[in-house]
Structure 1
Amino acid sequence: MRKLVVAISMLAFAGSAAFADPIIDRQALMKERGKIVGGLAKVAKGEDAFDAGAVLTQLQALQANAEKFDVDALFPKGSDVGDTTAGPKIWEDTVGFKAVEDKYLSNVKAAVAAPPADVDALKAQVGAIGSDCGTCHQGYRVKKG
């Protein structure tokens, strides 16, 4: 019982600590997102074997990640300075930024709702999702270096 109370307390603390540092939090979400998309891309390219169950699990993880992406909490005013590659256009065109993220979430949800049966179907889904990533990175991100 004591372990259960400790576990619940830790979850409550973790929930309250969510988005404590928006720059660190959004970078963590994006790193997670990149890792998942990278895994899917390896399968789409034929570098890893296609396993429908594993692909669906990755797509579900991608959806969970996308659903945590709260633009207002992750990009509050003042979080444009510091160790970040978030471009000023995010705050200048928040509506457009949210629209790009909404399209991305929609494409991820569609992929989960109709999981690919083969590599060719996965390629199409990864292409749509990757296009959304590219749109955001080109328009709303500052390149380092």
Structure 2
Amino acid sequence: MRKLVLAISMLAIAGSAAFADPIKDRQALMKERGKLAGQLSKVVKGEEAFDAAAVLTALQALQANGEKWDTEKFFPAGSDKGDTTAAPKIWEDTAGFNAAEDKFLADVKAAVAAPPADVDALKAQLNTIGGDCGTCHQNYRIKKG
């Protein structure tokens, strides 16, 4: 009986991996990241009031998002084909790609560790984090139309 349960468990795990779609998974992660950055941007632009607790919560969510990053999982060989804007440079310069993601996560962690006390401090942090996003998009993303 144990062997049967173990065999069924192994098949279930293998089956779920077979249905994983790295393109959709990475797009979902990036959409979440963009939404969180957008929330913070609204505060910087004055479209929403500065609320230190809400800002910290958004920064913490951005950190959690960054900690989910796994280049091997989200960008395996062959996932450059299909509905994706991932540039070939990702696979040609994986070390640089990972370094860009590491910098993003380090900057987000720094913002969480020293939460902004006001809009100006948030603006400075968001400029750094947004710069990380922009650098990665310039180098590792194909612009649509």
TM-score above 0.5, yes or no: yes
Percent identity between matched residues is 76
Partner of 2:109: 109
1:25-44 matches, cutoff 5 A:
25-44=25-44
The separation in 1 between residues aligned to 2:108 and 2:70, in whole angstroms, is 16
- Deviation digits for residues 33-55 of structure 1, max 9, x if unmatched? 00000010110111110000000
Partner of 1:86: 86
What is the CA-CA distance between 1:84 and the residue it aligns to?
0.2
The separation in 2 between residues aligned to 1:107 and 1:20, in whole angstroms, is 30
**TM-score if structure 2 supplies the norm length?**
0.87
> SS state of the match for residue 24, structure 2?
helix
What is the CA-CA distance between 1:25 and the residue it aligns to?
0.2
The separation in 2 between residues aligned to 1:139 and 1:41, in whole angstroms, is 23
> SS state of the match for residue 49, structure 1?
coil
Q: Which has the larger radius of gyration?
A: 2
The separation in 1 between residues aligned to 2:115 and 2:44, in whole angstroms, is 13
What is the CA-CA distance between 1:121 and the residue it aligns to?
0.3
**TM-score if structure 1 supplies the norm length?**
0.87
Q: How many residues align?
A: 130
- Deviation digits for residues 35-89 of structure 1, max 9, x if unmatched? 0000101101111100000000000000000000111110000000000000000
Q: Which runs of 5+ in 1 are unaligned?
A: 1-12
1:1-145 matches, cutoff 5 A:
20-145=20-145
Which AA in structure 2 matches 1:47?
A: E
